[in-house]
Amino acid sequence: MGIAIQNPRRNAYKKLMLRVRDVISGSDNTFTLKLQSYQKPINLTTVTRNSTTWSELLLLEAQVLAREILDRLVATGKHEVIALVRKEPSAFPELPGVTWTQSDYTDKSQLVELFRGVETVLSFIGVHLDPGNETQKRIIDACVEAGVKRFAPSEWATGEKLVDAIDAMSWYSGKIEVQEHLRNLNAKEKVLEYTLFQPGGFMDYLCHPHKTAKYITTSVVNVDFVKKRALIIEGTLDDEITYTSIEDIANIVTRAVDLKSEWPVVGGISGDRVPIRRLLEIGQEIRGEPFAIEWLKMQDIEAGELKTDNYPRLPFPSVPKDQVDAFSKMVVIGTLTGFHRGAWTVSGEWNKIFSDYKFTKVEELLKRAWEGKA
């Protein structure tokens, strides 16, 4: 199964996997990317690129962030990819160096066989779509049994203080449970190296409806740059939020894949840390007038009440139409609560590791998105 590229002089290799869930589209598509990696240059008739590194990667159910990461990995010219999919391979696009192959991931023994010899697994499974976190736990346990070295659970949003707001952001509770599962695995001795890729919020959402990444589907949360208005809890203008662009997340993960040193357990990716007050100032500078602020009372939000009709409706396909209003209120209340409790700020471990990398700032991305637009 897949492409096995052997170095006749040296059998040392490393492999990489990613696990991905398409949360935004709610689709049942899954795919796995498989690449093989070597430490010395090799000559292959099936590969024309002159590369000194080859990796194995598996990637499941990706249409959004994972596709951005896939594109970056393909662009490096280091990877030959075998993509394992639940649907017919013909349903997926042709990509340079990528071969699509059908597979099923519900059987742990199959996962173990698939993971043997793999060095790294990155998970993007939608935790709110994984009852009891059974799928992700199965993947983790299969990693351990197969001897996988590295794993990254499905984080990809918020930061280390998520636990302080989990009562209001219950759709992310699976992240906390998976973190605990990983800690317990390594309680006596380290059996699986792992990192929590935590980028705060997607900066690209601030640019809605303008597209700043190839695959991401955005929506307004609490600051609407089109209608020039915002929902703000009283007394929270100085609360800080970390925003990281999709491009920067993909670039940092691509770098992390090739990192030879040990990954940090907490893996904050900090694009820009901005107080709500400054975000509104940037909005005024770009849109030419102050934003209208609808002030919300903290006691109402803490009681789970959103006393306004001006909240964004979040039309995720996985949410039934008759539940969109209730779902949207829950997300807005939880997100605003998370802002105030620091759940969307991150610590920046990957910034320190890749200190040469220049991150996109909020003002920079917003100006780029709105340039020449009314």
Q: Residue 335: which CATH number?
A: 3.90.25
Classify residue 24: in a domain, yes or no: yes
- CATH number for position 23: 3.40.50.720
Q: What is the pLDDT of residues 183-201, one digit of tens each?
A: 999 999 999 999 999 999 9
Q: Copy the structure tokens of residue 229.
A: 């208005």
β-strands 240-244, 196-198: how paired?
Answer: unpaired
User: 213 with 261, same domain?
Assistant: no
User: 219 with 150, same domain?
Assistant: no
Of 132, 90, 295, 263, the closest CA to residue 186 belongs to: 263
At position 236, the amino acid (one-letter code) is T
At residue 302 the predicted structure's pLDDT band, cuts being 50, 70 and 90, is very high
User: 249 with 239, same domain?
Assistant: no
User: 74 with 148, same domain?
Assistant: yes
Burial 290-322 (b: 16+ CB within 10 A, else e): ebeeeebeeeebeeeebeeeebbebeeeebeee
End-to-end CA distance of the chain: 52
The pLDDT, as a whole number, for residue 205 is 94
Q: Are 173 and 158 in contact (CB under 8 A)?
A: no
Q: Is the peptide bond before 209 cis (omega within 30 degrees of 0)?
A: yes
Give the CA dihedral 151, 157, 161, 162, nearest 10 degrees: -100
User: 36 with 153, same domain?
Assistant: yes
Q: How far apart are CA 23 and CA 17, in angstroms?
A: 19
Q: What is the pLDDT of residues 259-287, one digit of tens each?
A: 999 999 999 999 999 999 999 999 999 99
User: 41 with 87, same domain?
Assistant: yes
User: 104 with 174, same domain?
Assistant: yes
Classify residue 293: in a domain, yes or no: yes
pTM recorded for the entire structure: 0.83
Containing structural domain, residue 139: 13-200+245-268
User: 35 with 183, same domain?
Assistant: yes
Give me the number of domains the chain comprises: 2
Q: Quick one: which H or E segment has residue 334?
A: helix 324-341
